[in-house]
Chain A
């Protein structure tokens, strides 16, 4: 399943990926199939939220994409990684709770998409197993 056309991810994939590469730099190494896997996880989580929240996410992604044009002369998805990180960091520490919340929520989705994949779990060395101690012998 790929994100449906109604998903904020389908219309703003470039923005989402730009944010993802700042949040988890390792995402820059993901191939097409791995990106799809991460975005499937995120799309599923978004689909389970009320439509109001989905609209808010779409709006947030649009704002994130275009506000840097005013600040840096480039859209978020065209910014270099240093300025992208600086921009997101400024939002994360914004005086406005609404802005902080929005960035926090988006960051959470990125982390879910990345660390929700078995390959990422293995890559960080997480080895929990239902067999517990027996699996370590």
Chain B
């Protein structure tokens, strides 16, 4: 027997999108509007963020961070926690490029509007440039090598407060320095009366706006608090529903829901900035596993379809990201204190073949293949990263190449040593964490799933407020733009809420 609940507005997901919407709608609680946030992941206590790699990856990420695309050649990283993926990102907060928003070509979506909203959240979440003494050698070498190699190196604004430089951002900050929605927007929403229920997996949304919700039991010995509701099946009657479970979560939920609307574009337009970690060995030890890991970047998206970012990963992630195996692989791992790392992100485009689907159990299946253009972006980015490493004084670079170790004396032959043939799927560790699309916004059902305010075509009571709305790749780290878009969606809801809540349930279907 399912337990029944009733709310006016239910927000599904609590990350950059859901957390923002929850905060922005929270003032409605004063007027008697009942708002609920359902989050699939648990709520973690501060002391549970230990920074231990496998333990935290298992606790925070879907499939421990190893969710595979359909053909098994790329892993997708997305978190499930109170705060969603804002718990595990590095806090990098960039405003969407004007060029990208213009190219999206969505009438009514103006760059100036997104920029203004981004500025609001940059201010709210303490986004700023890290002070010089907090920058480690791994980042300094990127700046130095990047400039010597002729690239324009820029500093990432980050949303930290009291960063102690643990370098463990991607495992959840153990010092609560990162200002994700778990630290800023959700607590504000809860103080204003929004309810948040964790470990809540929304299985479907029915045409009568009931949500079938499965509350997971806290496994014995697992991290995270038990759910606020009893484990088992629940039914939630909502008057408005906001999907903010991320590109995969929201798209999958809508795909498995019997919605009374024709949405031919649902699941289409998935992009993800496929990424590769590259490492180089310096002759001496550098500070790399201490300090904020991602402080600088080189943006070559427009001209060359790649972005380079500083990064520093953990032993297992580093090991699996290196090409090959055996003595040369071990030699690089043993050089860990001397390693510099760069993350190469290819700027992909939405294509007809890359999409999100569901299997018979209703679970996500992501179909993704690298196009020639995306592959070229990765190859060019890898060569550029190698140039930066050598310009910074690296002794050798480990890259997809044959053999994978490229010595400094070969720095003049990078175009020859690093070629597309070395990037065959299944031989390089390509991963992605910027998951976008699936519920793209646009004009009409023929080209999109929602309108420019995140309203699902034909279903005014159903909104989307996360990166699934992006009709194409953003070409930068997406979190601030997700918050800006979610802010728009919340504004649209505030505008429509009186009419929608006043209308009888059956009248609001079409």
Report A's interface with B, CB cutoff 8 A: 22-26, 41, 45, 48, 85, 88, 92-93, 97, 100-101, 104-105, 107-108, 111-112, 114-116, 120-121, 123-136
Given contacts A25-B330, A26-B330, A136-B290, contact A100 B166 (CB under 8 A): no
List 16 additional contacts besides A25-B327, A132-B165, A132-B167; criterion CB under 8 Å.
A24-B329, A93-B427, A101-B72, A104-B426, A104-B427, A105-B72, A108-B66, A115-B315, A115-B319, A121-B315, A123-B334, A128-B51, A130-B164, A130-B168, A132-B164, A136-B287
Indicate whether B175 reaches chain A with its CB closer than 8 angstroms. yes
Q: Which of A88, A116, A128 contacts B289 (CB 8 A)?
A: A128
Q: How many angstroms between the C-alpha atoms of A114 and B424 in the bound complex?
A: 26
* Chain B interface, >50% SS class: loop
Residues of B within 8 A of A107 (CB): 320, 325
Question: With A23-B325, A133-B164 in contact, do A100 and B50 touch (Cβ < 8 Å)?
Answer: no
Asked if B150 lies at the interface with its beta carbon under 8 angstroms from chain A, I say: no
B51 touches A129 (CB 8 A): yes
Closest to B426 in A: A100
A131→B425 CA distance, assembly (Å): 39
Could you name 24 residue pairs across A and B whose Cβ atoms are closer than 8 Å?
A22-B325, A23-B329, A25-B327, A25-B330, A92-B325, A93-B427, A97-B73, A97-B425, A105-B72, A108-B320, A115-B316, A115-B333, A124-B334, A127-B290, A127-B337, A128-B314, A129-B51, A129-B166, A130-B49, A130-B164, A130-B168, A131-B164, A132-B163, A133-B164
A85–B327 alpha-carbon span in the complex (Å): 10
A134 touches B325 (CB 8 A): no
CA distance A92 to B426 in the complex (A): 8
Max chain A C-beta neighbours (<10 A), residue from B175, B316, B320: B316
Q: Is B377 an interface residue (CB 8 A)?
A: no
- Nearest B residue to A19 by beta-carbon distance? B325
Chain A residues whose CB sits within 8 angstroms of the CB of B424 once the complex forms: 100
Per-position 1/0 for B313-336, Cβ under 8 A of A: 011101110001111011001101
- Residue B174, interface by CB 8 Å: yes
Query: How many Å lie between the Cα of A23 and that of B165 in the bound state?
Result: 32
CB neighbours of A112 from chain B (8 A): 54, 316, 320
A41 touches B320 (CB 8 A): no
Does B175 contact A132, Cβ atoms closer than 8 Å? yes
Bound complex: CA A17 to CA B117 (Å): 55
Residues of B within 8 A of A (CB): 49-51, 53-54, 58, 63-64, 66, 71-73, 134, 163-168, 174-175, 287, 289-291, 314-316, 318-320, 324-327, 329-330, 333-334, 336-337, 424-427
* Given A85-B326, A107-B325: A97 touches B165 (CB 8 Å cut-off): no
- Determine whether the beta carbon of B50 is less than 8 Å from that of A111: no
- When the two chains form the complex, which single residue of A22, A114, A120, A129 contacts B290, counting CB atoms closer than 8 Å? A129
Q: Which residues of B contact A88 (CB under 8 A)?
A: 325
Q: How far is the CB of A130 from chain B (nearest CB, A)?
A: 4
B315/A124 in contact, CB under 8 A: yes
Question: Which residues in A have their C-beta under 8 angstroms from that of B425?
Answer: 97, 100
CB distance from A75 to the nearest CB of B (A): 20
The answer to whether A130 touches B175 (Cβ under 8 A) is yes
Across the interface, which residues of A come within 8 angstroms of B73, CB to CB? 97, 101
Q: Say whether B427 contacts A92, CB under 8 Å.
A: yes
| B318 partner residues in chain A, CB cutoff 8 A | 115
Task: Flag if B427 contacts A100 (CB, 8 Å).
Answer: yes
**Set of chain B residues within 8 Å of A23, measured between Cβ atoms:** 325-326, 329
Question: Which single member of A48, A92, A129 contacts B63 (CB below 8 Å)?
Answer: A48
- Among residues of A, the one whose C-beta sits closest to the C-beta of B163 is A132
What A residues does B320 contact at CB under 8 A? 107-108, 111-112
Q: Are B289 and A126 in contact (CB under 8 A)?
A: yes
B164 touches A125 (CB 8 A): no
Verify B63–A124 contact, CB threshold 8 A. Answer: no
In the bound complex, residues from chain B placing their C-beta under 8 Å from that of A100 are 424-427
Compute how far the CA of A133 lies from the CA of B53 in the bound complex, rounded to whole angstroms.
Answer: 19
**A83–B72 Cα gap in the complex (Å)?**
27
- What residue in chain B is nearest A135 (Cβ atoms)? B290
With a CB–CB cut-off of 8 A, which chain B residues contact A123? Answer: 334
Q: Which residue of the partner chain A has the closest CB to B50?
A: A130
Contacts of B64 in A (CB 8 A): 45, 48
Instruction: Let me know if A133 and B50 touch, CB within 8 A.
Output: no
Judging by beta carbons under 8 Å apart, are A24 and B330 in contact?
A: yes
Q: Is the CB of A126 within 8 A of B336?
A: yes
Measured CA separation A125–B338 after assembly (Å): 9
A131 to B164, CA, bound (A): 7
In the assembly, what is the distance between CA of A23 and CA of B336, in Å? 18
- A111-B316, A115-B333 given as contacts; is B291 within 8 A of A132 (CB)? yes
Inter-chain contacts of A48 with B (CB < 8 A): 58, 63-64
A124 to chain B, nearest CB (A): 4
- Once the chains are docked, how many angstroms separate the CA of A135 from the CA of B166? 9
Is A133 a contact of B314 with CB atoms below 8 Å?
no
Nearest Cβ distance between residue A18 and chain B, in whole angstroms? 13
> Measured between alpha carbons, how far is A125 from B287 in the docked complex, in Å?
12
